[in-house]
Amino acid sequence: MIAFIRTALAAACILCGVAVMLIATIGVNRFHYVLNRMHAAALGDTLGIGFVLIGLMIHNGLTFVSLKLLLIIIFFWMASPVCSHLISNLEVQTNPDVEKECEIIHE
């Protein structure tokens, strides 16, 4: 019974992660400006991969593989937002038409 519950919970986490990545893919294809696309991609891959890896951790139980998966989650949660920020910062600095593409509020 416990194995069934663990498998069902793992499957739910994996399906949730796949759904988040699918929604992020739709967002990347639907948005027109590169910064909007990057925002959808960055959130989708961080949260989606996190859910999938948590599902795999639940499925494997308390093993050395689960520790490795936890380290991968920690790496993604630190590296993905930093990489997205650096790429978007480069886009803002190198695009001369950024004010036409974005709604910039001047105070």
CA-to-CA dists, residue 59 to 32, 45, 56, 76, 97, angstroms: 38, 21, 5, 20, 49
In a domain, 101, yes or no: no
Q: Which amino acid is at 57?
A: M
**Residue 106's pLDDT band (cuts 50, 70, 90):** low
Give yes or no for residue 97 having a pLDDT over 80.
no
Distance between CA atoms of residues 89 and 82, nearest Å: 10
In tens, the pLDDT along 4-60 reads 999 999 999 999 999 999 999 998 888 888 888 888 888 888 899 999 999 999 999
Domain containing residue 23: 2-96
Predicted confidence (pLDDT) at residue 100 exceeds the cutoff of 80: no
| Domain-embedded: residue 107 | no
Q: Would you give the distance in Å from CA 8 to the centre of its chain? A: 23
Global confidence as pTM: 0.80
Residue type present at position 71: L
**Assigned domain for 106 exists:** no
Domain count, the chain: 1
- Decide which of 42 and 100 is more confident: 42
* pLDDT value, residue 107: 58
Instruction: Tell me, yes or no, whether 11 lies in a domain.
Output: yes
In the predicted model, is pLDDT for residue 85 greater than 90? no
Contact at 8 Å (CB) between 49 and 76? yes
Does a structural domain hold residue 103?
A: no
SS3 102: coil
Q: What radius of gyration, in Å, describes the C-alpha atoms of the chain?
A: 18
